[in-house]
Amino acid sequence: LDSISIDWPISRRRFYGTEIPIWYCGNCAEPHVPEPGKYYKPWAQKAPFEKCTKCDSKEFVGETRTFDTWMDSSVSPLFISKYNKDSEFFKKTYPATLRPQAKDIVRTWLYYTILRCEQLTGASPWSEAWIMGYGLDEKGMKMSKSKGNAVDPLPIIEKFGADTFRFWSASEINHGYDFRCSEQKIEATKKFLSKLWNVSRFISSYPIVDKSETTMTDKWILSELDRVVTECQKGFSEYNFFVPAIAIREFTWNLFAAHYIEMVKARAYGEGFTDEEKNAAVYTLHKVLSTILVLLAPISPFSTDYLWQELYSKETIHKQRHPKPENVQDMKQFTKEIEEFNSKVWNEKKSKGLSLKDPIAIEIPESLKQFAKDLIPMHKIQNQD
């Protein structure tokens, strides 16, 4: 906007467009503007004036130019809020909170809208603008009608589902950055929703239980969940859906499913654990899943609502309060160690030609001894005191 150094040329020499309601005196060229309230076609209609206000001539020539398209677009907030038509509705709807738009029309649509709306109403039409980048094809070229490389979303939605398309757009599009679109990327996104479905199916086999005294393993994943809630809260508040989409995907797939669920399976089954320890695992499984579903609901509304009503309540998930951080004890210092130790055991078994269910002799690091009660049955670790 700071680079704008010229006036806005509001007229265009085009056949199609909104006519400019001006007639010029045929003698002295004095411009005449009719009364507001009607739509005029000066190039085709007789002038609604008897004579020129300057020279009394009765000859008039209608304007043949049309308005720049942004003259219409720039009053769109006034049109939808019924400006000068319904004062009560206008008071309720103007100004708006948000204008979402692409970065290529900041100098035109965004600037001209603010300019005209403030001139007419004395108030900015919105408080925040959400600027996104260009949609590019899989080769990195800007999608456009003229190039014929635009991706029609309807066949993709039919093929992969609306939630897949929505999650792809959220996880691919960061604030202000261009993004590439390809069917292969969208198809890859479906794998995450399939993973969430499988996780939900596993957890659904356990009844919902009252909160029990959680173990160190439970406290660890709840600490990581709290971090995700904080990240999602920040991302949603800034209209940057990329942040919650990535945070939810990485947590669900790479921590919750890959590590925590594997660590507590034996405890959830109750094999060699007390009822309280078993219930703590089951409680935590449902606590994490239900929170993930609510966090993900604005992005993938259909899948999350179905799972929510199947598992937790017949009331729609979209009436639930958005989760807030519970400020639990921060245990992120264990995350990397847990990931590395589990990966080490899996790789060790693979190198020895063992299945994941086979026993193995391996030392648990001193720093992870407090997780040993879950790690030992998870990996079938032998020779532990």
Q: Say whether both 180 and 283 belong to one domain.
A: yes
Distance CA 86, CA 90 (A): 6
Angle at 354 between CA 357 and CA 338, to 5 degrees: 65
**Residues 101 and 229 placed together within one structural domain of the fold:** no
Q: In the prediction, which pLDDT does 1 show?
A: 60
Across the strands, what pairs with 98?
A: 128
Q: Which of 106, 131, 147 is the last residue of a domain?
A: 147
Note whether 218 and 256 are same-domain residues.
yes
**pLDDT one-digit tens code per residue, 264-274:** 999 999 988 99
Q: Please name the residue that has the structure tokens 């925040």.
A: 128
User: How confident is the model over 318-345, as a mean pLDDT?
Assistant: 94
Question: For every residue of 71-140, which 3-state class applies, written as one string?
Answer: HHHCCHHHHHCCCCCCHHHHHHHCCEEEEEEEHHHHHHHHHHHHHHHHHHHCCCCEEEEEEECCEECCCC
Residue type, 114: I
Examine the domain organization and report whether 170 and 243 are in the same domain. Answer: yes
Within this chain, do residues 208 and 84 fall inside the same structural domain, yes or no? no
Q: Please indicate, yes or no, if residue 34 is contained in any of the structural domains.
A: no
Give the model's pLDDT for residue 384. 56
Torsion angle in degrees (nearest 10) through CA of 260, 262, 264, 267 = 180
* pLDDT classification of 257: cutoffs 50, 70, 90: very high
Over residues 108-159, the pLDDT tens digits come to: 999 999 999 999 999 999 999 998 888 888 888 888 888 888 888 899 899 9
Domain assignment of residue 48, yes or no = no
Mean pLDDT of 333-344: 96
Q: How far apart are CA 122 and CA 41, in angstroms?
A: 30
Residue 50 lies in a domain: no
Beta bridge partners of residue 102, listed in sequence order: 132
Looking at the structure, do residues 368 and 311 belong to the same domain, yes or no?
A: no
Q: How far apart are CA 286 and CA 204, in angstroms?
A: 8
The residue among 286, 285, 268 whose CA lies nearest residue 277 is 268
In a domain, 28, yes or no: no
pLDDT digits (tens, 9 = 90+) for 37-85: 899 999 999 999 999 999 999 999 999 999 999 999 999 999 999 999 9
Check whether residue 314 and residue 367 sit in a common domain. Answer: no
Separation in Å, CA 345 to CA 132, 221, 263, 337, 354: 44, 20, 13, 12, 11
Residues 274 and 353 occupy one common structural domain: no
Inside any domain, residue 38: no
The string of DSSP codes covering 265-301 is HHHHHTTTS-HHHHHHHHHHHHHHHHHHHHHHTTTSH
- The CATH number that applies at residue 195 is 1.10.730.10
Same domain, 365 and 319: no
Domain span at residue 358 reads: 333-382
Give 22-36 pLDDT, tens digit per residue: 999 999 999 999 998
Convert 150-218 into a string of H (helix), E (strand) and C (coil): CCCHHHHHHHHCHHHHHHHHHHHCCCCCCEECCHHHHHHHHHHHHHHHHHHHHHCCCCCCCCCCCCHHH
What is the enclosing helix (H) or strand (E) of 31?
strand 31-32
Domain-terminating residue out of 129, 147, 165: 147
- Are 310 and 175 within one domain? yes
Question: How many structural domains comprise the chain?
Answer: 3
Report the pLDDT value the prediction gives residue 318, as an integer from 0 to 100.
Answer: 97
Identify whether residues 197 and 86 lie together within a single domain: no
* Residue 24, pLDDT score: 98
Q: What local confidence, expressed as pLDDT, does residue 230 receive?
A: 97
* Structure confidence at residue 385 as a pLDDT band (50, 70, 90): low
In a domain, 111, yes or no: yes
Q: What average pLDDT does range 215-225 have in this prediction?
A: 97
- Same domain? For 82 and 230 the reply is no
Q: What is the distance between the terminal CA atoms of the chain, rounded to a whole angstrom?
A: 69
What is the per-residue pLDDT for 341? Answer: 96
